[in-house]
Structure formats: C-alpha cells, structure tokens
C-alpha cells in the first residue's frame, strides 16, 4: 500500500433490502496499486457492497466517497470500471462491439476507441474471438470479455465481483495475471470472491465479510498471525491421524521422534480457511 490519498473511502455504510439488513457499519479505504479482496460466503453482502460503492444502490446510512467525489455523479463514474457478477453482455453483438460500446459510453471516440477496444481484448486474450458474437463464447470467455469491458477506458478504480466463477484453471490464471498487471500499473481493485486460494494469491489485504459485517481487514500474513492459530503436526499411524497443535513444529517433530512415536508425519500450516472459521464461527462454502 502507498501513501497516496485513497481512491475509495467507505465509512459506516449500512444498507437494507426492506427488513433485511444486508450491510452494517462497513468501513474501509482502498488505495492505488492495491487489490483489496472481500472474502465471504453466498449472501454475505459482497455484491450489495459493490453496488453501494459504484453508486447503483444508495446507502441507508454512512458514506461512500471516491477520490473524485460522489459515485452517483456521472463524471465520477468515468473513473471507475465495473465487472458485475455474472457479467452483463448483449447477445447479438460481437466481442469487439461489446467492448467498443462500453468504450463509447465512457466517452472514447474514433481511433482512440478502436485502439482501446483492441488493447482490452488483447489484455484478456480474446483478440482471436473479437468477431464472435457474445452468445457463442464459452462461460469463461464471457467472464474475460466482462473484464475487458470494465478496463477498456483504463479507470483508476476497478470493481470486480467474482470475476473467476465458472472459469477454468488456465483462464483463471490468465485473468489473475491480468489483474496483477493492473495492480502494477497502479489501479486500485476491489475484488470479491469466496475462493480462498485466489484471495491468498492476489490480495494485498483481505476483508472477511459475513452477514453484512466486515469482521476483519488486513494482509493475509497479518490475518494468519492474528487468527490462524498454530500449525498442526499430523501423525498418521495404524490408519488414524493424531493432530498435535504446535507453535514450533520442528521441535514437536523432534520430541515425538525422541519419544519413539511411530508412523508418518506431516505439518499443516493454517490458511485463510482457519482464519475464516475463527472469525465467523463457520466454514465458507467454496465453489466446487
Ligand atoms: N435485490 C434484492 N432484494 C432483496 N434482497 C436481496 C437483494 N439482493 C440481495 N439480497 C439479499 O441481501 C443479502 C446479501 O446479498 P448479496 O448479493 O450482496 O450477497 P453476496 O455476498 O454477493 O453473495 P454471492 O456470493 O451469492 O454473490 C442476501 O441475504 C440476499 O438474499
Ligand atoms: Mg454476489
């Protein structure tokens, strides 16, 4: 994270759908060059939070400020890009036309628009598919096209709502590489996921969101330090596992061997699953 002023500031944000309180007292800041992950299960409030941050929903209480001002202001909207959950493609238009349409909506014209669309399609590896109609693309390609439309005008602030759901491992890696490249160029990215390895790999900070509350927000190492618990030394013997929690697994291994413990040993270090479990009291449901 750097010391430049934040691209996005969210303060004490609450939102309800009728009687259902979907967000409660959410606060965070997003800085240039930062990928901030929101990790939470189905229904946690991630998409609602994204909608409040992009000006699509009006908070019941609290504030959302972009560096340029209020996101409800159309001039401010140009400084952000949104890849909505599940995508928003127009069947009947080619991949290139979709991206050009969005570039036009963001104020790009003529050659500048064409070049931006070409660059965005190349960025997501879809240049070969530029003339294919959206409905003929696979689910993963549609997700990549969705990202191309979000980045075509090179906005400093990006909202990516579960951009890798339904994307195969290869395309997922290509997308994550692309997002890392955007970060290196200084874009600030709010990234929602319920997929832990992705959050661990990509995010500078991860927010644990559950039932509308942002319970923790920190770097993965800091979350692991605070909530991960000790590593486990696991002893497999006679078809069963004995688990020894240990702050110093090498020492524990030594001691077990000295005591003549039999079997195979392995060490498991805590990951975000343990953090999530300890913060929320339940497991996150991961996609298959
Ligand atoms: N348009 C709506 N009307 C009423 N309730 C809604 C609406 N959209 C979402 N909700 C409810 O608000 C809560 C938060 O939903 P939201 O879509 O923000 O969760 P999410 O974290 O994005 O979940 P997912 O991982 O499934 O995308 C859920 O209880 C959901 O049922
Ligand atoms: Mg969602």
**Distance between Cα 51 and ligand 2 center (Å):** 10
Given a cut of 60, whether residue 286 has pLDDT beyond it is no
Nearest CA to ligand 1 atom 18: 45
The per-residue pLDDT for range 143-155, each reduced to its tens digit, is 899 999 999 999 9
When mean pLDDT is compared across 70-74, 184-188, 199-203, the lowest value belongs to 70-74
> Which ligand sits nearest to residue 84's alpha carbon?
2
Asked if residue 68 has pLDDT above 70, the reply is yes
Other CB atoms within 10 A of residue 198 CB: 21
The answer, yes or no, to whether residue 174 has pLDDT greater than 90, is no
Asked whether the beta carbons of 44 and 210 are under 8 A apart, the reply is: yes
Q: What is the 3-state secondary structure (H, E, C) of 109-162?
A: CHHHHHHHHHHHHHHCCCHHHCCCEHHHCCHHHHHHHHHHHHHCCCCCEEEEEC
Residue 139's pLDDT is what? 84
**205: pLDDT strictly greater than 70:** yes
Supply the residue whose CA is at minimum distance from atom 31 of ligand 1.
Answer: 43
Ligand 1 binding pocket mutation candidate from 13, 38, 47 (most atoms within 8 A of CB): 47
User: Could you tell me the distance, in angstroms and rounded to a whole number, from the CA of residue 48 to the centre of ligand 2?
Assistant: 7
Q: Which CATH architecture has domain 8-225?
A: 3-Layer(aba) Sandwich (3.40)
Span from the CA of 38 to the centroid of ligand 2 (angstroms): 10
**Is the pLDDT score of 288 beyond 60?**
no
Mean pLDDT, residues 111-135 taken together = 94
User: What does the DSSP assignment read for 175-203?
Assistant: HHHHHHHHHHTT-EEEEEES-HHHHHHH-
- How high is the mean pLDDT of the chain? 92
Residue pair 191/35 in contact (Cβ under 8 Å)? The answer is yes
- Judged against a pLDDT cut of 50, whether residue 228 lies above it is answered with yes
Q: Which residues line ligand 1 (CB under 6 A)?
A: 17, 20, 22, 40, 42-48, 85, 194
Burial 108-121 (b: 16+ CB within 10 A, else e): beeeebeebbbbbb
> What's the pLDDT at 199?
92
The closest-lying atom of ligand 1 relative to the alpha carbon of residue 44 is: 21
Confidence grade of residue 4 (pLDDT, cut at 50, 70, 90): confident
Q: Percent of the chain having pLDDT more than 70?
A: 98
Q: Which of 19, 22, 87, 284 to mutate to test the pocket of ligand 1 (most atoms within 8 A of CB)?
A: 22
How many C-alpha atoms does 35 have within 13 Å on its Cβ side? 25
| CA pair distance 8, 19, nearest whole angstrom | 28
Asked whether the predicted pLDDT for residue 169 surpasses 70, the reply is yes
Of 4-18, 28-42, 139-153, 163-177, give the lowest mean pLDDT range. 163-177
């Amino acid at each position: 994270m750097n010391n430049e002023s934040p691209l996005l500031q969210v303060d004490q944000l609450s939102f309800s759908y009728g009687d259902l309180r979907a967000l409660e007292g959410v606060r965070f800041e997003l800085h240039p060059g930062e990928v901030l992950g929101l990790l939470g299960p189905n229904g946690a409030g991630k998409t609602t939070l994204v909608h409040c941050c992009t000006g699509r929903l009006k908070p019941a209480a609290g504030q959302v400020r972009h560096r340029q001002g209020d996101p409800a202001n159309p001039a401010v909207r140009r400084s952000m890009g949104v890849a909505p959950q599940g995508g928003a493609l127009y069947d009947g238009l080619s991949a290139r036309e979709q991206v050009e349409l969005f570039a036009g909506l963001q104020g790009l014209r003529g050659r500048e628009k064409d070049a931006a669309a070409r660059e965005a399609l190349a960025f997501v590896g879809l240049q070969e598919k530029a003339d294919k109609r959206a409905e003929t693309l696979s689910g993963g390609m549609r997700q990549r096209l969705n990202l191309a439309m979000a980045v075509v005008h090179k906005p400093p602030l990006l909202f990516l709502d579960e951009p890798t759901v339904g994307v195969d491992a290869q395309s997922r890696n290509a997308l994550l590489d692309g997002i890392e490249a955007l970060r290196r160029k200084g874009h600030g990215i709010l990234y929602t996921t319920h997929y832990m390895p992705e959050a661990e790999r990509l995010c500078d900070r991860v927010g644990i969101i559950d039932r509308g509350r942002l319970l923790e927000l920190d770097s993965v190492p800091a979350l692991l330090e605070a909530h991960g618990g000790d590593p486990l030394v696991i002893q497999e013997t006679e078809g069963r596992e004995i688990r020894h929690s240990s702050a110093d697994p090498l020492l524990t291994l030594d001691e077990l061997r000295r005591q003549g413990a039999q079997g195979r040993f392995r060490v498991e270090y805590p990951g975000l699953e343990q953090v999530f479990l300890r913060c929320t009291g339940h497991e996150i449901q991961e996609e298959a």
